[in-house]
Amino acid sequence: ASYETLLVEQRGAVTLITLNRPQALNALNSRILADMIAATAAFDADESQGCAVITGSEKAFAAGADIKEMQSQGFADMYSHDFFAGWERVTATRKPIIAAVAGYALGGGCEVAMMCDFILAADTAKFGQPEVKLAVTPGMGGSQRLTRAVGKAKAMEMVLTGRMMDAEEAERAGLVSRVVPAADLIEEAVKTAATIASMAPLAALANKEMVNAAFETGLAMGIQFERRLFHGLFGTEDQKEGMAAFIEKRPGKWTGK
Ligand code: HXC
């Protein structure tokens, strides 16, 4: 499929999704949202694909929700259309997604990066939630996901002042998993995604689901959820194969069953 605001390419079992509205620094308008919903759903449904990478340009992952599109909207428009709720369909993707961020990830851009399962940052990355400067607040999960990722002190300072975090600070704060030189970002992200895509598919789904449960449950329930899903994987062919392959000192061959 081809999209107006995205470039989508498959590199082996990795789907590389590039936000492509360079004239607006990838500002997230309703077209990008519709394209992202379609592209992530297609990725999730394609059995040949195991992991996706979402990236932007060298200058901007995305400079936020599209301010020009939002400016004239009133409460009734926003509320009746439940503006931004569509992004929940992107976060419903069951297979792993990596955000590869170079340049600005501001407002909705930072929020989309945080919707991914983890963030790999180029050394040029800048993260911020500057909505307060527009007299609004984050609206795509930023106040919640940023606070869970970096804690109250940094999240509060960022949303109240609109200041940006550079890649190094973001790594120290736990917002990103790793920082790599900008020139290597895509290669490194695709390589990491290929590693994930090489794992048994059900194990990838289960590991993602489990870590996400840590954000939704208390510790005892979370551990119970982990253990039951762990038990469940012993009903799969791939578990038998994975453990046999280890014992026989050979790579596993997965059926996804
Ligand atoms: C619409 C945007 C945009 C945005 C940039 N552009 N960000 N258009 N929505 N969020 C457009 C500019 O208007 C400009 O178009 C072109 O992209 C290039 O941007 P410049 O500002 O000229 O580039 P530069 O001087 O390099 O500055 C880069 C920047 C700045 C620091 C990232 O663009 C910026 O501050 N952008 C807004 C960041 C922001 O506030 N994001 C949060 C949005 S609100 P023209 O046509 O002039 O060339 C949000 C909240 C969602 O995400 C929830 C609350 C409702």
Tens digit of pLDDT for each residue in 107-144? 999 999 999 999 999 999 999 999 999 999 999 999 99
Whether 127 lines ligand 1, by a CB cut-off of 6 Å, is no
Per the CB < 8 A criterion, the answer to whether 35 and 62 are in contact is: no
CA distance 130 to 10: 34
Q: Which of 30, 61, 67 to mutate to test the pocket of ligand 1 (most atoms within 8 A of CB)?
A: 67
Q: Is the pLDDT of residue 182 over 90?
A: yes
Q: What ipTM did this prediction achieve?
A: 0.95
Closest-CA residue, ligand 1 atom 7, reads 63
Degrees, nearest 5: CA angle 2-3-4: 135
pLDDT beyond 90 at 1: no
Task: State the Cα angle at 78 between 73 and 81, rounded to 5°.
Answer: 125
130 pocket-lining for ligand 1 (C-beta < 6 Å): yes
Of 50, 52, 60, 111, which is the active-site residue? 111
Residues 70-104 have pLDDT tens digits of 999 999 999 999 999 999 999 999 999 999 999 99
If DSSP codes are grouped into helix, strand and coil, which group holds residue 52? strand
DSSP H/E element including 166? strand 165-166
Quick one: tokens of 179? Answer: 């920082």
| 3-state SS assignment for residue 75 | helix
Q: What is the pLDDT of residues 185-234, one digit of tens each?
A: 999 999 999 999 999 999 999 999 999 999 999 999 999 999 999 999 99
Q: Is 107 in the pocket of ligand 1 (CB under 6 A)?
A: yes
pTM: 0.97
* Ligand 1 centroid, distance to 240 Cα (angstroms): 52
What residues contact residue 159 under an 8 Å CB cut-off, 6+ apart? 129, 131, 132, 137, 138, 142, 143, 146
Angle at 142 between CA 127 and CA 72, to 5 degrees: 95
